[in-house]
Amino acid sequence: MTEVSGEDLRPRFATRAVHAGNIPDPLAGAVMMPIYQTSTYVQEGLGRHKGYEYARTQNPTRQALERNVAALEGGRHGFAFASGLAALDAVMKLLSSGDHVVAGENVYGGTHRQMTQIWARMGLRFTFVDPSDPQRIADAVTPATRMVFVETPTNPLMRLCDLAAAGDIAKRAQALLVVDNTFATPCFQRPIESGADIVLHSTTKYLNGHSDMVGGLLVVERSDVAERLGFIQNAAGAVPGPFDCWLALRGTKTLALRMRQHDASGRRIAQWLEQRAGVERVYYPGLPSHPQHTLACRQMSGFGGMVSIELGRAERARRMVERTRIFALAESLGGVESLVGHPASMTHASVPREMREAMGLTDRLVRLSIGVEDVEDLIADLERALAAV
């Protein structure tokens, strides 16, 4: 089980991002963590080895990534998985048939699909609530509740959950608080400091930041939960390959730099869109017009590069996502390149239409992942696309 060291936690964020978990290679002194592309390790004798027996259980490249992200989140243990949804799968395996979960209604579509179409069939029970009102979380808790699962900000409506309030509710219910921190990243929000037990990441997104791998990661503070997750990681076996771990680890080194630019451009574009005629609504927690802007300023140190907009008619939204040139029409988010998407027919197509409409995720919604290109070029691209619809 991977554990951060005191050394990993001593420096500030950007220094941790570059150094935590990276140890000079003992063979040649390579400054960068090598890709340990091996399935097994030679043993000097029966039961005598260097701490590595089989690569599903331990891999040095994977451990470096796990330590790095755990240090960034300010947690104690990290567990890497083959995707964000594989990380979710491991979290759900902490529960038993009959256990109840209170989950945010606005979670990523694939998270909702796994909960309702896999875990509900296995006997877990779910209540989906609007987590922007902590009272709704509290009201949904039953004696069988073992987990509260939230995303903040949510994908794609950018609603926030008050993490300290959710942490108090979970603690009172003796339930685990699990927070998907994929959108904010530890650069801008550290849920463990607000009482979360487990932080979940799709490393596919900002942590890797270059759209060239798929991965997931869990960060845990409590050692009993970590013991169990370590067991599940090895016993279920959904681990990432060493090359993907290496790519993610290379990505996290520049996380602080990249997030600064995503945030600066996100703010600028959100403000511009708010003034642009024909854009009915802009969803971005950094805008004073966001209904939870005060909470955003309290629990986040930046707002990032995810901006959603509502256009007057569904047809305009569908046309707009096909008219941009720099913003590529694609699933996913968090890379250096800008992406545009239509959540109702892409990332959230697996959420039933009635549920989508009820929470405000309409066919008129367009989601932007603002990359690190020159912001003037991005604005010009959006202007051209909006003018054409």
Ligand X SMILES: Cc1ncc(COP(=O)(O)O)c(C=O)c1O
Active-site annotation, residues: 56, 108, 180, 205
What backbone torsions phi and psi does residue 125 show, to the nearest 5 degrees?
Answer: -120, 140
Shortest Å distance, C-beta 301 to ligand X = 19
List interacting residues with ligand X (CB under 6 A): 83-85, 108, 110-111, 151, 155, 180, 182-183, 202, 204, 214, 216
- Range 33-42, long-range pairs (CB < 8 A, 24+ positions): 33/60, 33/61, 33/64, 33/246, 33/249, 34/60, 34/61, 35/61, 35/242, 35/243, 35/246, 36/60, 36/61, 36/242, 37/242, 37/243, 38/242
- Cβ(196)–Cβ(163) under 8 Å? yes
Shortest Å distance, C-beta 203 to ligand X = 7
Shortest Å distance, C-beta 204 to ligand X = 4
Between strands 306-311 and 100-104, the pairing is unpaired
Measured CA to CA, the distance from residue 72 to residue 199 in angstroms comes to 11
Shortest Å distance, C-beta 88 to ligand X = 7
Chain residue at closest Cβ approach to ligand X: 84
Measured CA to CA, the distance from residue 225 to residue 93 in angstroms comes to 11
What backbone torsions phi and psi does residue 251 show, to the nearest 5 degrees?
Answer: -65, -45
- The helix, strand and coil proportions of the chain, stated in percent and rounded to the nearest 5, come to 40, 15, 45
Shortest Å distance, C-beta 277 to ligand X = 30
Tokens for 158? 């950018």
Please say which residue, 151 or 263, places its beta carbon nearer to ligand X.
Answer: 151
Measured CA to CA, the distance from residue 28 to residue 145 in angstroms comes to 51
Measured CA to CA, the distance from residue 229 to residue 224 in angstroms comes to 9
